[in-house]
Amino acid sequence: MDLASILLGGLAAGMVLFVVSVGLSVTMGLMGFVNLAHGGFAMLGGYAVVLAMRHWGLPFSAALALGFVAVALLAALLERTLYARLYRASELDQVLFTIGLVFVMVAGVTLTVGPETQGVQLPAWLRGQTDLGLLKYRTYSLALIAFGVLLMAALWLGFERTRIGAQIRAAVDNRRMAESMGVDVRRLFTLTFALGSGLAAAGGGLGAEILGLDPQYPLRYLAYFLIVVAVGGLGRVSGVFFAALALGVLDFVLKVHFPKGGTMFIYALTIAFLLARPQGLFGKRA
Amino acid sequence: MSLQAATLEAATRHRLRAWEALPWLAALGAFFLFPDYLAFGTQVLVMILFALSLDLVLGYAGIVTLGHAAFFGAGAYTVAMLAAHAGWNEPLSGLAAAALVAGLLGLASGWVLLRTHGLTLLMLTLCTMALLEQAANMFSGFTGGFDGMPGLAYRPILGLFEFDVLYFRTQYLYALAVLFACFIALRVLVHSSFGRSLTGIRENLLRMHAVGAPVRARQVLAYAVSAALAGVAGAVFAQATSYVNLAVLGLERAAGVLIILILGGYGRLYGAFVGALAYLLLEHTLSKAYPTAWQLGIGITLVLVALYARNGILGLVDALRRRWGAR
Amino acid sequence: MSAVLLETQGLSKRFGALEVARAIDFRLEAGARHALIGPNGAGKTTFVNLLTGVLAPTDGRVLLDGEDVTRLAPAKRVKRGIARTFQINQLFRGLPVLENVALAVAERLGAGGDMARPAGRRADVLAEAGRLVELLHLGADAGRRIDELPYGRQRLVEIAIALGLEPRLLLLDEPAAGIPSAESHIVLQAIAALPPDIAVLIIEHDMDLVFRFAERITVLVGGAIFAEGTRAEIAANREVRAVYLGTALDA
């Protein structure tokens, strides 16, 4: 494979990682909650898309929107009823709770849908190849890259230009200060948690083509989502963007050249990076 | 409570109580009562030892790790690879080698990783384990990779007791003896002044610094000892089943041992016994017939434990006893 | 006239553009009773953190007994005789009072690294911890866990732990903060009963306590020493009254 193809394939995978992980980064940065169940929301979104298309005949984009809304609502409900009880609990309790939640999601999907891998039927306009002049490449991967860039731009504008965005940035940097300035951090967290989980759901649907979709999804990619968040820096959207792209490209290259055990280098690099910069790419030193 | 009573309690906490003989009597009794289930029993004993090793770092020193299976796997691969590639198949020296390798790995990784804390530390322990797993995958010529290294033979223990491929009689008693020795050592350790200082570090790291304790050195030492014990558990596992594959150092095993310890109750040694027995019994009876229901049940249990029963089964027993005592 | 125990020379700390300690020159003699006062945000706790090594200064030196300890880790400074209490309790909340103190005593007596001998057999540690618990009138609570104690009693455990380190220099960061006024006399008595050979530096907002306890007072404003003198001098200092005491008295 030539360099450009590898780069494009890796960027497409990286964009999926970005869409899934960005919500995790913001909620972890905001509340310091160790949420290992985030990948579970992505998986649920993927299943929502697949099932809505198969049983209700919804078009791909409508199914994505539905997955986003449904998972965001579910996340808001879970946040209010269960997550909120553990904000002050130890890291260990949060880890246990969210691992338990992942198991429940995995088992629930296995019981209701089945253990087999699900495929997404892409619409005609996203199938096939697109001629870029210099090379031809899979249309869907190009669309993913375009979507990821647009989302990054939208999030950047949202964070920099809207009131809610400013409140989130303030609360990530200094929660107590933000509270004393009248920011309702509780409500803010429900909102960002729901939006972040909804984005993960969209990422699950968009990425089913690349990452696959089966009940083991949240466990298989747990380490990758966490790496993206930790390397990018908690609550740093642009950090997550670059970390996700780097991981996507690196993973793609390694899978092509060292199909067996090549991801070892990813873990080694992550360890070295986090030891040198425990606060991540753009995080502030504590 | 008066000062005398408090002093007496602190001065006698390390003493052996009569009930502490129970688990050992039960384990010996099980050997005679359930001769057909000794393979399962061996697995329980191995997981008790693994969970005990985790209890030292998590329950006593308060270090939350997602990657403890790295040391279990290191121990397992040490004895398996020595046997397969170096013809070193004497079991007891194999255990010592496994403890040494896993302990040194714990010392090195602990020295590097324990500078960090919180999410970063969680990530780093997870990545270290994944790194080892992928390394074992990459060098599958030596490790057997996913398919594993089957059919490894070990010499008789002390030259006297042959490993019993069919009924696991030797393996069971061997695992019990190793568990007993490790437990005694661990019990001495947690009740020593060093062990108490680990509890202090768990309760308040900042204060422990402020009373002049070399906090990081203590944490690293505890981490290394724990890693060595986990390595011994992995080595006994590899010897008893004469089989090793990548699953010995995967996320599933790391999560499993965490669940066992939390289910039983952490920071109290005996939680590992109760948790391993309860978890593996349920898994044994449920998981083959209804694997999904088993996973669902474990998930719901974890959620409930995190929300309502943070001290596990033994914590619930304590609470009931207190309620009874109050009446 | 006693020897200088602690001295800082040009001690400074900057966070970016923010200067929280500006060239502080400060001396403390053995057995001194000294108070550090100043408005909120004057850098009092920062100064304590610089002395104990929690923060590294941007500039300047900390000398203990004439020896430079500026680069020494916090735990090592404790071994040299600097102990502190925290403005917000830093206790072993899940452990009984006696064992909170015993952990500190064990570290001072060098028992903490012993991996074999049961902690319960260190009769010397338990006896010394018991003595301190009595000294602070905590005997009846010795077996209770910290999180079962009222806040005021917890403050006393802070002091007992610091004394368990047998410091030559004791830094008390707002020992009476967060205690209901009806209970503050317990802290006052405890401080008054401190061994006379320990040098004590107290940070406190309660002026009553400061003027009763301290022989000398340093006023810190904006990270720099604004005034220093005996309590009479400080009480009579018009600028201090204008900058600090006035507002404090009005409040």
Judging contacts by C-beta atoms under 8 Å, the chain A residues touching residue B259 are 96, 99
Band of residue C246 on the pLDDT scale cut at 50, 70, 90: low
Residue B115 phi/psi, 5-degree rounding, is -70, -25
Judging contacts by C-beta atoms under 8 Å, the chain B residues touching residue A95 are 64, 66, 122, 258
The three-state secondary structure class of A117 is coil
Cα angle vertex B265, ends B260, B269, to 5°?
Answer: 90
**Interatomic CA distance for residues B233 and B50, integer angstroms:** 5
For C49-69, what is each residue's pLDDT tens digit?
999 998 899 999 999 988 999
Taking one residue from B and the other from C, the number of pairs with CB-CB distance under 8 angstroms is 142
Q: What is the DSSP letter of A285?
A: P
**Interatomic CA distance for residues B77 and B98, integer angstroms:** 8
Query: Given B2, B195, B203, which is nearest C92 (Cβ)?
Result: B203
pLDDT score, position A1: 62
Query: Given B3, B193, B213, which is nearest C114 (Cβ)?
Result: B193
Distance from CA of A112 to the nearest CA of B (A): 11
Q: What is the DSSP letter of C121?
A: G
In SS3 terms, A161-206 reads as HCHHHHHHHHHHHCHHHHHHCCCCHHHHHHHHHHHHHHHHHHHHHH
User: Could you give the C-alpha distances from C116 to B14, B177, B186, B187, in angstroms and in order?
Assistant: 11, 21, 10, 10
Distance from CA of B92 to the nearest CA of A (A): 32
Asked if A107 lies within 8 A of B116 by C-beta distance, the reply is no
For A63-122, what is each residue's pLDDT tens digit?
999 999 999 999 999 999 999 899 888 888 899 999 999 999 999 999 999 888 888 888
Band of residue C105 on the pLDDT scale cut at 50, 70, 90: very high
The three-state secondary structure class of A263 is coil
Residues 176-215 of chain B with CB under 8 A from chain C are 188-189, 191-197, 199-200, 203-204, 206-215
**Interatomic CA distance for residues C178 and C192, integer angstroms:** 19
Token digits of residue B93: 């020296």
For A2-26, what is each residue's pLDDT tens digit?
888 888 889 999 999 999 999 898 8
For C178-189, what is the mean pLDDT? Answer: 75
Judging contacts by C-beta atoms under 8 Å, the chain B residues touching residue C49 are none
Q: Where are the beta strands (DSSP E) in chain B?
A: none
Distance from CA of C117 to the nearest CA of B (A): 5
Q: Where are the beta strands (DSSP E) in chain A?
A: 129-131, 136-138
Chain C residue with minimum CA distance to B5: C143
- Judged by average pLDDT, the poorest of A168-177, B110-119, C94-103 is A168-177
- Does C179 score more than 80 pLDDT? no
Judging contacts by C-beta atoms under 8 Å, the chain A residues touching residue B124 are 271, 274-275
Instruction: Examine chains C and A and say if they touch (3+ CB pairs below 8 A).
Output: no
Q: CB distance from A132 to chain B under 8 Å?
A: no
Residues 53-92 of chain B with CB under 8 A from chain A are 58, 64, 66
What percent of chain A stands above pLDDT 90?
44
**Interatomic CA distance for residues B156 and B167, integer angstroms:** 15
- Does C186 score more than 80 pLDDT? no
Best mutation target, C103, C135, C154, to test chain B (most B CBs within 10 A): C103
Neighbours of B103 (CB within 10 A): 23
For B107-150, what is each residue's pLDDT tens digit?
999 999 998 888 888 889 999 999 999 899 888 888 888 788 87
Asked if B292 lies within 8 A of A107 by C-beta distance, the reply is yes
B: neighbours with 3+ CB pairs under 8 Å?
A, C
Asked if A263 lies within 8 A of B130 by C-beta distance, the reply is yes
Token digits of residue A148: 């990821």
For B79-92, what is each residue's pLDDT tens digit?
999 988 888 888 99
Judging contacts by C-beta atoms under 8 Å, the chain B residues touching residue C95 are 199-200, 203
Nearest CA-CA partner of B105 in B128, B124, B79, B76: B128
Query: Given B138, B262, B293, which is nearest A261 (Cβ)?
Result: B138
Amino acid letter, residue B6: A
Distance from CA of B9 to the nearest CA of C (A): 8
Residue B313 phi/psi, 5-degree rounding, is -60, -45
Pairing mode, if any, of strands C216-221 and C33-37? parallel
**Interatomic CA distance for residues C13 and C224, integer angstroms:** 11
Distance from CA of A251 to the nearest CA of B (A): 13
Q: CB distance from A95 to chain B under 8 Å?
A: yes
For B24-63, what is each residue's pLDDT tens digit?
999 999 999 999 999 999 999 999 999 999 999 999 999 9
Distance from CA of B125 to the nearest CA of C (A): 25
**Interatomic CA distance for residues A29 and A26, integer angstroms:** 5
Mean residue pLDDT of chain A comes to 88
Beta bridge partners of C15: C18
Asked if A107 lies within 8 A of B302 by C-beta distance, the reply is no
Q: CB distance from B126 to chain A under 8 Å?
A: yes
Amino acid letter, residue C59: D
Among all chains, which residue has been given the structure tokens 């390595």? B231
pLDDT score, position B44: 97
Neighbours of B137 (CB within 10 A): 17
Judging contacts by C-beta atoms under 8 Å, the chain C residues touching residue B13 are 118-120
Q: Give helix B215-241 / helix B193-203 axis angle, nearest 10°.
A: 110
Q: CB distance from C119 to chain B under 8 Å?
A: yes
Chain C residue with minimum CA distance to B16: C118
The three-state secondary structure class of B15 is coil
Q: CB distance from B7 to chain C under 8 Å?
A: yes
- Per the CB < 8 A criterion, the answer to whether C174 and C204 are in contact is yes
Amino acid letter, residue B181: A
Beta bridge partners of C171: C84, C201
C: neighbours with 3+ CB pairs under 8 Å?
B
Distance from CA of B152 to the nearest CA of C (A): 37
Chain B residue with minimum CA distance to A29: B119
Best mutation target, B3, B12, B266, to test chain C (most C CBs within 10 A): B3
**Interatomic CA distance for residues C75 and B253, integer angstroms:** 37
The three-state secondary structure class of B41 is helix
- Per the CB < 8 A criterion, the answer to whether B196 and B208 are in contact is no
Distance from CA of B115 to the nearest CA of C (A): 15
- Per the CB < 8 A criterion, the answer to whether B182 and B229 are in contact is yes
Q: What is the dihedral of CA A156, A162, A165, A166, to 10 degrees?
A: 110
Asked if C52 lies within 8 A of B210 by C-beta distance, the reply is yes
Beta bridge partners of A129: A138
**Interatomic CA distance for residues A136 and A145, integer angstroms:** 15
Task: Tell me which of C161 and A181 has the higher pLDDT.
Answer: C161
What percent of chain B stands above pLDDT 90?
61
Chain A residue with minimum CA distance to B66: A95
A: neighbours with 3+ CB pairs under 8 Å?
B
Q: What is the DSSP letter of B221?
A: H
pLDDT score, position C247: 53
Asked if C142 lies within 8 A of B2 by C-beta distance, the reply is yes
Chain B residue with minimum CA distance to A112: B292
Judging contacts by C-beta atoms under 8 Å, the chain A residues touching residue B136 are 261
User: Could you give the C-alpha distances from A237 to A40, A148, A178, A206, in angstroms and in order?
Assistant: 21, 12, 19, 19
- Per the CB < 8 A criterion, the answer to whether B313 and B271 are in contact is yes
